[in-house]
Amino acid sequence: MARIAVLGAGGVGSAAARFLAREGHAVTVLEQFAPDHDRGSSYGTSRIIRKTYTDGLYTALMGEAYPLWDALEREAGEPLFRRTGGLFFGPAEHPELAAIRQALGENHVRFEELDPAACARRFPAFRLLPGESAVFEPEAGFLRASACVRANLRLATAHGAQVRAGTRVVALEPRADRVDLVLEGGEVLGFDRVVVSAGPWTARLLSPFVPLPFTVTRQVYCHFEPTAPLEDFGAGRLPVWIDFATNFYGFPYDGEAPGVKVAWHQPGTPTQPDAVDRDIRDTDDREPLRQACAAHLPGLSPRVVLERVCLYTMTPDHDFVVDSLPGEPRVTVLGGLSGHGFKFTVLLGRIAAWKATDHPVPWDVSRWSLARLA
């Protein structure tokens, strides 16, 4: 049994803690804010889960993640993954649609092709524009992000993990026989292994050891009020969707938050995680989302009924980082999820737990090494 610290209780950290505690290790989760806080990247009612990628590596690894999400849902005894299907579209000849079809086909993922007329019949609230084509993945849907984090932490605690909220780590200090963590206020804790999954705060924490070229960006999402009946936008009648030409994306009404959520997968203004501008502006923040709604969801009004700012932590190539700290194999680093990582967090937690205990990882994730960023 090893003494293992997990820094950060978001999607990855909570999953890693659950796996490690279940396997009998003495796990301490150190979270600088409250569990399930809204200052990072893992908070909210919904994140898209899909196997539809232009990159076959991510399609293949999502095939490994789906069973882990199903297992978490069973163990938690609550609904965490809503399969609504996913509509992924763009101009009919868009190269990313061709790459999607290839990646799905090579990984034996079932999908359908929909033209504007077929889409209108299947999903009356959603409109494809003339000349657009869609790939529909029936197994796609959304994860209840905050509920997933809370479930992982609850189960980790049930397996013996200790969660220390409101605990900020200011330094890592490797020793011959342990890794010390220095807390704000001066307390020092010693561990055999450390998993660093601190999201937007990871690069600053590890700056004495490795320069991480992470860019933290400010992202806005809005929920819009329908003019049509709300049930027309419910999870049984509207899928999750991504416009691969513009990177707008959205969700059905989830029954937990008001209105219909729409967002833009376009890296926003670079920021510092402790100094984020959380004021949402009409022209810069809301208006692009309104225009996406007007094009594809004509039953939504321009009225915003819920809005939030969250953060991306971007790598230069938008691939993740999963590796050991250079020269210090006792410290495992996960980060740079680049705005598309929540669906992978259960898989990344599984990998983190393996790496922290010297268990071989059965998939080739060398693309996620730190060396590529040097």
* 138-176 confidence digits (pLDDT tens): 999 999 999 999 999 999 999 999 999 999 999 999 999
- pLDDT tier, 37 (very low <50, low <70, confident <90, very high otherwise): very high
pLDDT at 247: 97
- pLDDT, one tens digit per residue, over 129-148 is 999 999 999 999 999 999 99
For residues 41 and 310, the answer to whether their CB atoms sit within 8 Å is yes
Q: Where are the beta strands (DSSP E) in the chain?
A: 3-7, 26-31, 47-49, 81-83, 86-91, 112-114, 132-137, 141-143, 162-165, 169-174, 179-183, 188-191, 193-196, 215-226, 240-243, 248-250, 260-264, 300-314, 321-325, 328-335
Number of other CB atoms surrounding residue 18 within 10 Å: 30
For residues 126 and 119, the answer to whether their CB atoms sit within 8 Å is yes
pLDDT at 9: 98
Which of these, 116, 112, 120, lies nearest to 138 by C-alpha position?
Answer: 112
- pLDDT tier, 251 (very low <50, low <70, confident <90, very high otherwise): very high
pLDDT at 371: 97
Tokens (6 digits) for 242: 């991504």
Please tell me the number of Cα atoms within 13 Å of 88 on its side-chain side.
28
For 218, the enclosing helix (H) or strand (E) is strand 215-226
Q: How far apart are alpha carbons 374 and 369 in whole angstroms?
A: 10
Looking at residues 75-96, what average pLDDT do you find? 97
For 312, the enclosing helix (H) or strand (E) is strand 300-314
For 354, the enclosing helix (H) or strand (E) is helix 345-356
Which of these, 198, 176, 210, 194, lies nearest to 330 by C-alpha position?
Answer: 194
Q: How far apart are alpha carbons 117 and 357 in whole angstroms?
A: 53
pLDDT at 241: 98
Tokens (6 digits) for 88: 């992924």
Q: How far apart are alpha carbons 263 and 242 in whole angstroms?
A: 10
Mind listing the domains of the chain with CATH numbers? 3-43+146-211+317-373 (3.50.50.60), 85-143+215-314 (3.30.9.10)
Which of these, 224, 180, 188, 221, lies nearest to 311 by C-alpha position?
Answer: 221
Radius of gyration of the chain (CA): 21
pLDDT at 126: 98
Q: Does the predicted TM-score (pTM) go above 0.95?
A: yes
Number of other CB atoms surrounding residue 271 within 10 Å: 18
pLDDT at 16: 99
For residues 58 and 212, the answer to whether their CB atoms sit within 8 Å is no
pLDDT at 20: 99
Q: How far apart are alpha carbons 176 and 210 in whole angstroms?
A: 20
C-alpha separations of 145 from 64, 90, 149, 320 in Å: 19, 27, 6, 19
> Per-residue b/e over 75-109, b at no fewer than 16 CB within 10 Å?
ebeeebbbbbbbbbbbeeebeebeebeebbeebeb
For residues 225 and 239, the answer to whether their CB atoms sit within 8 Å is no
Q: How far apart are alpha carbons 147 and 42 in whole angstroms?
A: 10
- pLDDT, one tens digit per residue, over 308-350 is 999 999 999 999 999 999 999 999 999 999 999 999 999 999 9
For residues 210 and 326, the answer to whether their CB atoms sit within 8 Å is yes
For residues 45 and 254, the answer to whether their CB atoms sit within 8 Å is yes
The pLDDT > 90 percentage for the chain reads 99
Looking at residues 25-41, what average pLDDT do you find? 98
Q: How far apart are alpha carbons 124 and 305 in whole angstroms?
A: 23
- pLDDT, one tens digit per residue, over 255-310 is 999 999 999 999 999 999 999 999 999 999 999 999 999 999 999 999 999 999 99
Q: How far apart are alpha carbons 126 and 242 in whole angstroms?
A: 12
Residues 6+ away with beta carbon under 8 Å from 71: none
